[in-house]
Amino acid sequence: MAANVLAHSWRRNDNLPYGFGGLGDFMRYFLALCALLLPSAAHAEWLEASSANFVVYTDDREKDVRRFSEQLELYHGAMEVVTGLDLPVPSPSNRLTVFVVRNEREVQRLVGNDARNVGGFYIPRAGGSIAVVPQVQVRRGQLDFSMIALLHEYAHHFLISNSSVVAPRWFSEGGAEFFASAEFPPAGGIKLGMPAHHRAGELFYGRDVKVEQLLDPAAYEDGVRDGFDSFYGKSWALYHYLSLGTERPGQFRTYLKLLGSGKASREAGLEAFGDLSQLERDLDGYIRQRKIRTLVFDPGRLQAGEIAVRPLTAGETAVMPVVIRSRRGVNREQALEVVQELRPLAAAYPRDPFVLAALAEAEFDAGDDARAIAAADAALALDPRRINAYVQKGYALFRQAANAEDRDAAYADAVQPFLALNRIENDHPLPLVYYYRSFAERGQRPPAQAVKGLERATQLAPFDLGLRLNLASYQIMDGQLDRARATLMPLAFNPHGGGMAEAARQVIERIDAGGMSEPPELLALLEPAAEEE
C-alpha cells in the first residue's frame, strides 16, 4: 500500500496528567502509569481475535486478547446506544484491523518523521482501515494511554461513518475525547463520559482556548501558536457539559440541528447557546466541579458477541512485522526494503496463502506487477477465498492496463479479480470502486450501474475520503454541483485538515458563489487533493 494515505494520529500530553478528583484519583493514575513502566512477561505467540467489528493482531495471552476484544465490542455497543444508532454488522473486510505492537517507539518508527509524541494512529481506507497502538495493559478500571488512543480513533471511525452532520473540529475531537474517556468496571459493563484525566494537564496548565475560539475555527487559527494549549481538553469539556450537564437542556440538540441546516459553527452556537461569554463562565465552573455525571452500562446490558481467537501460523507470525509496515503505507524506498524482506520469507513458507498474499502486496508496492500477479495467483491456488490476493492482483492488472495497447481488453481483464471478490464478499467496497474505475480510467462515461456502485462504496466506507473525492469529481463532471457540494462537505471539514480539506473548501466556495466556475475549473482545484489521496 502506498504511503500517501490520510493518518489520524493521537498525541498525548508530555505534561503530568493530574486527575480531577483530588489526591486519591492522582494516586490511582500514578500507580497505573507506573504499571506501564514495568517489564512485561514474554508472550508465547501472535494471536488473531476476530469479532463483529474488529480484527486484532497481537503478541499476547489468549485471555488478554479476548478481554481486549470484548472491551472494544462493548465500547462499540455503548456508542450505538448513546448515538441512537442500530448499525448493520460490517462486511469482514470493512472491520477495523488493530495491530498491537511492542511499544510506543515502534508506533513512532512506523509513523516516521515528527512522531515523538504519537501514541497510536488510525488510517481509514475502504476495505482496509487499520489502527496501530502499543501494547495495551488489559485491565479493569481506568485505561492506559494506549487504550485511550485506540478508543479515541475508533470514535472518529464510528462517528464519521454514521453522522450526517458536518462536524466542526471541536465537536469531532470533543466527541472522540468524550467517548474515549471510558472505564471498564471490575464487575463488568462499561462507563462513558468519565473525567478525561489525560487532558487535565492541558486544561489547568496549557494556554487557554476560549469557547468562542472553539466555535469559530477561523478565530482559533488566528490565535493559535506553536505550543501547548487546551484545545482537546476544552473540546472534551464543552462536549461533556452540553451532553450531560443539566443547566442547558436541549441546546446541544438545537446546535446540531442548526449545523445540519447549513449554518456555520459560530452562528449556530450563538443561536443555540446565547451569550458565549456566559457559556465560558458556566463551562469553567463545570470543569472545576468535584463530580460530574457519567453514562453507566451495567454488566449484561450490552453483549460483546462471539469472539474467535486463533494462533497465527508459523508463516503469518514470521511476516507479521513486515505486514504491519506494508499496511501502514510505504514510499518507494521503503517498498523495496519490504519486498526484499518478504521474498525469502515467502520462499520459506511457500504453502501459506497469507504469506503469498502479503508478498503480492509488497511486489505491487515495489512496482513489479508481474511478480505481484504471480504471488496472488499462488495464494489463490491454495485458498480461493484469500481476499487480499484478489485485491493485489486487481491493483497490478489495473496498473498494467493504463499502458496497454488494447486498453479496453486490458481493463476488462483487470476488473475480473474484483468481480470475483464481489461474489465472495458482496459488501466489500473495492469491487464497486474498481468497476467504476474500469470505465473512468479509459475515458468512457461510466454506466448508471457503475455510478451507483461508487455511491454504494462511499456509503459502505464513508471514512475513506478518497472515495468522496472520486464521487464528487464524477458529480462535477456530470453537472451535479449540489450533490458534489454535499459529497465534499465532510471532506472540507475533516478535523485533521490537509490538502484534501482545503481543496474541497475551495470547490464549495466556488459552487456557493454561483456561475463563477465551469466543471473543468472545479476539477482542476481537486487535482492536488487527488494526488494526495
Residue 430: the pLDDT is 97
What is the C-alpha to C-alpha distance for residues 147 and 74, in angstroms, rounded to an integer? 14
What is the C-alpha to C-alpha distance for residues 120 and 138, in angstroms, rounded to an integer? 16
What is the C-alpha to C-alpha distance for residues 287 and 203, in angstroms, rounded to an integer? 9
> Beta 54-59 vs 118-123: how paired, if at all?
unpaired
Which distant-in-sequence residues (6+ apart) come within 8 Å of 341 by Cβ?
322
Q: What pTM value is reported for the model?
A: 0.85
CATH fold of 329-451 reads 1.25.40
Per the CB < 8 A criterion, the answer to whether 169 and 495 are in contact is yes
Q: For residue 473, what is the enclosing H or E element?
A: helix 465-477
Q: Is 92 left (phi over 0), alpha (psi -120 to 50) or beta?
A: alpha
What is the C-alpha to C-alpha distance for residues 366 and 89, in angstroms, rounded to an integer? 35
Residue 88: the pLDDT is 86
Q: For residue 97, what is the enclosing H or E element?
A: strand 96-101
Q: In Å, what is the CA distance from 237 to each residue of 175, 194, 286?
A: 10, 11, 8
* Sign of the four-CA dihedral 327, 331, 336, 340: negative
Per the CB < 8 A criterion, the answer to whether 166 and 493 are in contact is yes
Q: In Å, what is the CA distance from 491 to each residue of 163, 459, 465, 500?
A: 13, 14, 6, 7
Q: For residue 311, what is the enclosing H or E element?
A: strand 308-311
Question: Exposed (0-12), middle (13-18) or buried (19+): which is 286, by Cβ within 10 Å?
Answer: middle
Q: Dump strand ranges (E) for 159-286.
A: 183-184, 190-192
What is the C-alpha to C-alpha distance for residues 481 and 310, in angstroms, rounded to an integer? 49
Per the CB < 8 A criterion, the answer to whether 501 and 489 are in contact is no
What is the C-alpha to C-alpha distance for residues 2 and 135, in angstroms, rounded to an integer? 26
Residue type, 525: L
What is the C-alpha to C-alpha distance for residues 148 and 422, in angstroms, rounded to an integer? 35
Per the CB < 8 A criterion, the answer to whether 529 and 469 are in contact is yes
Per the CB < 8 A criterion, the answer to whether 244 and 292 are in contact is yes
Longest dimension (CA), the chain: 74
Which of helix, strand or coil describes residue 13?
coil
DSSP state of 127: T
Question: What count of other Cβ atoms lies within 10 Å of the Cβ of residue 417?
Answer: 26
Q: Where do the CATH 1.25.40.10 domains begin and end in the chain?
A: 329-451
Q: Is 487 left (phi over 0), alpha (psi -120 to 50) or beta?
A: alpha
Question: Exposed (0-12), middle (13-18) or buried (19+): which is 31, by Cβ within 10 Å?
Answer: exposed
Backbone angles phi, psi at 168, to 5 degrees: -65, 165
What is the C-alpha to C-alpha distance for residues 230 and 512, in angstroms, rounded to an integer? 34
What is the residue-level pLDDT of the chain in tens, covering all 533 positions? 544 333 444 433 333 222 233 333 333 333 333 333 334 444 448 999 999 999 999 998 999 999 999 999 999 999 999 988 888 899 999 999 999 998 888 888 888 776 677 778 888 899 999 999 888 776 666 687 788 888 998 998 888 776 666 678 899 899 999 999 999 998 899 999 999 988 988 888 888 999 999 999 777 876 665 557 899 999 999 999 999 999 999 999 999 999 888 788 999 999 999 999 999 999 999 998 888 999 999 999 999 999 999 999 999 999 999 999 999 999 999 999 999 999 999 999 999 999 999 999 999 999 999 999 999 999 999 999 999 999 999 999 999 999 999 999 999 999 999 999 999 999 999 999 999 999 999 989 999 999 999 999 999 998 888 898 999 999 999 999 999 988 888 787 776 667 788 888 889 888 888 766 788 889 988 887 666 55
Q: What is the dihedral of CA 528, 433, 161, 177, to 10 degrees?
A: -50
For the chain, the straight-line distance linking the first and the last C-alpha, in angstroms and rounded, comes to 12
Which of helix, strand or coil describes residue 23?
helix
CATH of domain 8-297: 1.10.390
Residue 499: the pLDDT is 79
What is the C-alpha to C-alpha distance for residues 76 and 490, in angstroms, rounded to an integer? 22
Long-range contacts of 256-259 (CB under 8 A, 24+ apart): 256/165, 259/165, 259/166, 259/167, 259/168
Q: Where do the CATH 1.10.390 domains begin and end in the chain?
A: 8-297
Beta-bridge mates of residue 8:
122
What is the C-alpha to C-alpha distance for residues 315 and 312, in angstroms, rounded to an integer? 8
